[in-house]
């Protein structure tokens, strides 16, 4: 795989579910920063305290863990659509959000939106849009797996109804069927390169060839499912191989994510360009990513871009 030692941002990665091997490979493949949207954890939570500790871990331990591998970790904080359906719990989570969404390194309210498109989902989506508007923060919107096109359009219309600028909204998990509607309305269109379901990266190459690079963003959404934390660098490599220019690849695999989420005022290129070394001797609340007998890595991390195949179908 060849990526010309380019730098990448993965603006959608659920690192809580990933291992240190993933962090190591991501950094070697050129990922310098990533954004972890708050989402569900595979099964519904039953207590508000679980959300509080989850949010705390996104701004605390997970950020530290990433730093140990030379990656800057940011997050978006929100009540996801699936768990919005438990209304008594949702009410309590809504009370927690103002404590978290403006913290350092939080780059938006997310991922929020629709799943089954129920009345409860709609209610908490709207409340969170208002919160984002009040805090002047970008919004990261999850679009549904089922009845996707309707849900995508509805989420944009509701955003506009609440007076949110399209440029402050990142619509995620797009495909060939939704991209035009999203771009035409002036929203950011993110694509999740996720094996066997959302998008393959050969399709992604064709999308960029057809629609160009303006407001298009590539991410991995790697999580606890079968997913690939190297989706962004692999897609970049495939794009270069298939004749897309390096400047265009940089736009969709780095710059657009920075421009969109940088509107939070919480994410700057200097955050990682000025700090390129790691020190695994550091500790967070006396915890280390190292276990007995492991030797800490101290110093610069090299990008090698060495991977067996760059195609994700």
The residues binding other proteins (CB under 8 A) are 52, 55-56, 59-60, 95-96, 98-104, 134-135, 264-266, 283-286
Q: What 8-state DSSP symbol labels residue 151?
A: H
Q: Taking the complex as a whole, how short is the minimal distance between the CB of residue 88 and other proteins, in angstroms?
A: 16
- Give the distance, in angstroms, between the CA of residue 107 and the centroid of all CA atoms in the same chain: 10
* Residue among 149 and 268 whose Cβ is closer to other proteins: 268
Q: Taking the complex as a whole, how short is the minimal distance between the CB of residue 98 and other proteins, in angstroms?
A: 4
* Residue among 128 and 178 whose Cβ is closer to other proteins: 128
* Residue among 96 and 189 whose Cβ is closer to other proteins: 96
Q: Taking the complex as a whole, how short is the minimal distance between the CB of residue 162 and other proteins, in angstroms?
A: 17
Q: Taking the complex as a whole, how short is the minimal distance between the CB of residue 32 and other proteins, in angstroms?
A: 22
* Residue among 286 and 300 whose Cβ is closer to other proteins: 286
d(Cα 63, Cα 59) in Å, to the nearest integer? 6
Q: Taking the complex as a whole, how short is the minimal distance between the CB of residue 263 and other proteins, in angstroms?
A: 11
CB of 184 closer than 8 Å to CB of 213: no
109 phi and psi angles, rounded to 5 deg? -95, 120
Could you write out the DSSP letters of every residue in 191-237? Answer: EE--TTSS--HHHHHHHHHHH-STTEEEE--B-SSS--TTHHHHHHH
* Residue among 93 and 193 whose Cβ is closer to other proteins: 93
Could you write out the DSSP letters of every residue in 89-147? Answer: HHHHHHHHHHHHTTSTTEEEEEEEE-SS--HHHHHHHHHHHHHHHHHT--EEEEPPSSS
Q: Taking the complex as a whole, how short is the minimal distance between the CB of residue 249 and other proteins, in angstroms?
A: 31
CB of 156 closer than 8 Å to CB of 183: no
* Residue among 52 and 126 whose Cβ is closer to other proteins: 52
């Amino acid at each position: 795989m060849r990526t010309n030692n380019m730098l990448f941002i993965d603006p959608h990665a659920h690192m809580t579910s990933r291992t240190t091997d993933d962090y190591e490979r991501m950094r070697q493949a050129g990922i310098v920063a990533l954004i972890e949207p708050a989402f569900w954890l595979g099964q519904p939570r039953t207590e508000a305290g679980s959300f509080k500790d989850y949010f705390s871990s996104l701004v605390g331990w997970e950020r530290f863990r990433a730093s140990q591998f030379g990656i800057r970790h940011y997050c978006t904080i929100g009540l996801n659509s699936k768990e919005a359906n438990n209304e008594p719990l949702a009410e309590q989570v809504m009370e927690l959000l103002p404590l978290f969404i403006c913290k350092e390194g939080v780059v938006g309210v997310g991922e929020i939106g629709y799943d089954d498109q129920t009345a409860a989902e709609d209610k908490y989506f709207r409340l969170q849009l208002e919160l984002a508007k009040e805090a002047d923060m970008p919004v990261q919107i999850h679009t549904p797996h089922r009845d996707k096109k309707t849900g995508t359009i509805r989420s944009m219309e509701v955003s506009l109804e609440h007076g949110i600028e399209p440029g402050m909204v990142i619509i995620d998990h797009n495909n060939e069927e939704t991209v035009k509607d999203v771009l035409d309305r002036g929203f950011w269109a993110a694509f999740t390169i996720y094996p066997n379901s959302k998008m393959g990266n050969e399709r992604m190459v064709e999308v960029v060839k057809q629609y160009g690079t303006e407001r298009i963003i590539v991410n991995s959404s790697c999580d606890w499912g079968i997913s690939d934390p190297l989706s962004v660098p692999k897609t970049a490599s495939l794009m270069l191989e298939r004749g897309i220019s390096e400047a265009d690849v940089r736009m969709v695999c780095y710059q657009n994510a920075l421009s969109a989420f940088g509107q939070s005022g919480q994410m700057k290129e200097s955050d990682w360009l000025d700090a390129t070394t790691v020190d695994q001797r550091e500790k967070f609340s006396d915890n280390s990513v190292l276990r007995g007998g492991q030797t800490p890595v101290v110093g610069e991390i090299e990008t090698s871009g060495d991977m067996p195949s760059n195609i994700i179908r």
